[in-house]
Structure 1
Amino acid sequence: MLRLGPPRLSFVIPAWNQERFLAASVGSALSQTVHAIEVIVVNDASTDATALILEAIDDPRLVVLRSETNLGPGGARNLGMEAAQASIVAFLDADDVAAPERAERQLAFFDGHPDHVLVGSAYGVVDEKDNVLGVERPALLEDAELRFSSLFLSPVHLTSSAIRADVARRKAIVFPTDSKIVEDYRFVSSLIRHGKVANLQDVLTYYRRHDAMTSRLFEQQGWQGFAEASAANIRALGVECDGPLAARLAQAHLAKLRGLETDPLLEQLYDTLKALHASQEAP
């Protein structure tokens, strides 16, 4: 297959010892309904058959980068973004699968929304044998509600998301490399200061749950790192906040989304914070 002109979208896939699922992940990115793409796989010092699997894929749109030291997912994505030729970058993990129309849908969204820098989507959840376990649809879709929600949690599922990489480059926004747990949340929080964010209801990625996934590490280590990142976002509004308080506010936020009641004093603080955020976001 010959590439026709420069790519319109670059997939960035960090890969560390994912030989079981890597071929399916890369294959899904190369099988998009839009052909003007490139797929950048960052072999993050893998010690399994990752290199051999990538060598066996015969497609000029595949770009393989190798790091001799393990950078972690954030550092590997930074390396991929730096090499990306397209102005739009879509993130995918080496154990996940992109729906065939993902690039087409996200490119169409950016074409119609030049003020947006980030778009996520719904995603399916599959197990190790590709059985679909369910679908996670975003509770929030529009910029204003997503922007407030980002004080407490990521407004998008990163590996079903695409960004304007040209904006990230211009603003020197990269994934922090001091944590392998919340680097995506911190990256997204920085990026959406420079444009709008939205979610699509389309299922554009299939997210795999299995024993070796980094999300298990997140569950084991708890919410401490996430709460600290949330507290930093809240402090940026001029409100004193530490990790434990941010965690309680995040719980109140989730309760609100689900229509549940929360502690009255916590709800009052939450509502005050929401009003303050709205006043600072107003043009």
Structure 2
Amino acid sequence: MPEISVLIPVYNRAAYVTSAVRSVLDQRGAPDFEVLIVDDGSTDDSLARVAALGDSRIRVLEAKANGGIASARNRGIAAARGAYTAFLDSDDVARPERLAAQHAFLNARPDHAGVGAWIGWIDDDGKRLSRIKRKPRTYRMIAAERLFRSGIENSTAMARTEVLRAYPHDESLVVGSDYDLWARIARDHPVASLPHLLVDRRAHAEQATTENVARDRYFRCRIFAWQLDALGIHYTDADLNGHYRLRRLKKAGDRPDEAYLDWAEAWLARLRAANREYRLYPEPEFSGLLALFWAAACWYAEPQAKGMARLARNPLTRALPRGAFQGWAHRAPLVSRAAARLGR
């Protein structure tokens, strides 16, 4: 039996799936593994290209109709033979040391349910780009961030198969089911991310559309909602949309006005007070994170001078030095790697 099942859902990815599968077959130093291709009703020649690789480590689960990414991942997890399941998207590529590094980490830390990694970018032709997404290293920071974003990049993740079976993907989430998955797991179990580039994400035209952004907001707000329910927070649709906006200020080129700052100030104070009562998110990491979001809202405000004046006099700002330090320490390459080697 393989030690690791590498789960690759596939839906009409003929142009990229061969590179994804080869990147797994070429892993170095990893224990025995299988590559589990979970077809989601492809209508192109994706599966023919996989079959042409002719490797006995490849196993294919076929579907007659497209059921969505969450359904495909659930089918794959149910069929996995390995004690560990690693995810990889069908247009991404794993770096050669990925499986060995993550398997060693989880073997050494039986309390951890899963581990991710940092992710780089490649272009349509496979050329590496300079962009890097650095995720927080430790479970406390990942757990603190889960109300706003996923601390685990799913295409880099490896987890214990028994844990994934206990936390199935929510198939009603058309997008964001991976964020929901890791929010639920991080609520109950330690998870981490290795401060190393172990996967490259392919940038191509099909990934970014206006429709996808709109859907992302809708489904992420659903994930925010169940976490806010657990915190005992009463909220409106406007609150959910405002919360979503907080995490996208820089990316969206957003310039908050005074009305939004009024809302954000009150909202973040409510989150901090609720967490002091319910203790669902680790402190002081959670308060530091709230301070960072408040500082971002003030920095991008229009006019900026008024925003910065509000930042200076708000009690949330007291946690800003810690928030800035913890954000930097978890994502600065040399600091993160040194801390990882020391086991911190």
Matched with 1:3 is none
Matched with 1:32 is 27
Amino acid at match of 1:116: H
CA distance change for structure 1 residues 115 and 243 in 2, over 3 Å: closer, same or farther? farther
CA distance in 2, matches of 1:106, 1:250: 31
CA distance in 2, matches of 1:235, 1:97: 37
CA distance change for structure 1 residues 88 and 227 in 2, over 3 Å: closer, same or farther? same
Q: CA deviation at 1:214?
A: 7.3
Q: CA deviation at 1:159?
A: 0.5
CA distance in 1, matches of 2:180, 2:195: 24
Q: CA deviation at 1:35?
A: 4.8
Matched with 1:268 is 269
CA distance in 2, matches of 1:241, 1:118: 32
Matched with 2:70 is 74
Which structure exhibits the higher relative contact order, with contacts defined as CA atoms closer than 8 Å and separated by 6 or more residues?
1
TM-score (ref. length: structure 2): 0.72
Matched with 1:210 is 204
Matched, 1:88 2:89: no
> In the TM superposition, what are the counterparts of 1:107-256 in structure 2 within 5 Å?
107-169=103-165, 171=166, 173-213=167-207, 217-252=211-246
Taking only aligned residues, the RMSD between alpha carbons, in angstroms, comes to 2.5
CA distance in 2, matches of 1:215, 1:142: 32
Matched, 1:100 2:96: yes
CA distance in 1, matches of 2:95, 2:16: 15
Larger strand proportion of the pair: 1
CA distance in 2, matches of 1:211, 1:35: 35
Q: Write out per-residue CA displacement over residues 193-232 of structure 1, whole angstroms, 9 at most, x where no aligned residue.
A: 3311111111111111111237775325351211221121
TM-score (ref. length: structure 1): 0.87
CA distance change for structure 1 residues 223 and 279 in 2, over 3 Å: closer, same or farther? closer
Q: CA deviation at 1:240?
A: 2.3
Alpha-carbon contact 1:127-1:133 (below 8 Å) kept: yes
Amino acid at match of 1:163: A
Amino acid at match of 1:267: L
Amino acid at match of 1:83: A
Greater C-alpha radius of gyration: 2
CA distance in 2, matches of 1:160, 1:215: 23
Sequence identity of aligned pairs in percent?
Answer: 26
Alpha-carbon contact 2:115-2:191 (below 8 Å) kept: yes
Matched with 2:8 is 13
Larger helix proportion of the pair: 2
Aligned length: 271
Gaps of 5+ in 1: 1-5, 256-260
Gaps of 5+ in 2: 250-255, 284-344
CA distance in 1, matches of 2:66, 2:241: 30
Q: CA deviation at 1:280?
A: 6.9
CA distance change for structure 1 residues 28 and 135 in 2, over 3 Å: closer, same or farther? same
Matched with 2:288 is none
CA distance in 2, matches of 1:103, 1:139: 18
Alpha-carbon contact 1:252-1:270 (below 8 Å) kept: no
